[in-house]
Each structure stands twice: as structure tokens, then as C-alpha cells.
Structure 1
């Protein structure tokens, strides 16, 4: 597992991660810096993990 991803059990809600994604990339027409793109990719991975955790919890 990537060190940038949260450990199991410490996943933030998908909505919280989504808000951080939206704050980072307010205008998709504007290119992100290399660092911003890397952070966005980590946030996408965290968001996907949060969605999976919410699905498992709902089941």
C-alpha cells in the first residue's frame, strides 16, 4: 500500500475528500502544478477508498 494512502480504519468520508479535491482544483481549465497534480492523484485514491469503505459499511 502506498504510504500516502490512509491506513485501513482511518478513511475520511468521501464527501470530505471530495471537498478537498474541489478546493484544490477549482477551475479544471487551469493546469495544476506538478505538486498539485500529485496531490490530486493521492486525493482521488483516497476518495475511491472512502467510497469503497462506505459501500462495505452500507452492506
Structure 2
């Protein structure tokens, strides 16, 4: 699972990113590989950006 950067200015909805985060853990108690951990960290940043964008859009 290689991290794929988004094009500049492109933001996926927070719910979509959340699903990608959840998909990294197919079952409870599993550990992430180093590559999956890097993807998780990238997704967290993307998720936070999406949440902020949705808040601004709602305001």
C-alpha cells in the first residue's frame, strides 16, 4: 500500500478518508507495518484537512 499524494487543492470528504483509515485495520489487535503506519499518518493529515474544509464550507 503505497502512499499516494493528492493533487494540490484536492480534498476528499472526511468520511471517505475515515473509511480508508479504518480499512488499514481489518481486525482489532493487528499491528501496522512501517509502510501502513506511514500511510496511516498521511491519511490522518488528509482527514484533518478534510474536516477543516467541511467546517469552513458549512460556515
Q: Under a length normalisation based on structure 1, what TM-score does the superposition of the two structures give?
A: 0.82
Q: Which runs of 4+ in 1 moved over 3 A?
A: none
Instruction: Please list, as runs of the form range in 1=range in 2, the aligned pairs for 1:18-57 lying within 5 A after superposition.
Output: 18-57=18-57
CA RMSD of aligned residues (A): 1.5
Q: Under a length normalisation based on structure 2, what TM-score does the superposition of the two structures give?
A: 0.82
How many pairs were matched up? 55
Q: Unaligned regions of 5+ residues in structure 1, if any?
A: none
Query: Any conservation in 2 of the 1:5–1:42 contact (CA below 8 Å)?
Result: no
d(CA) in 2 for partners of 1:47, 1:33: 20
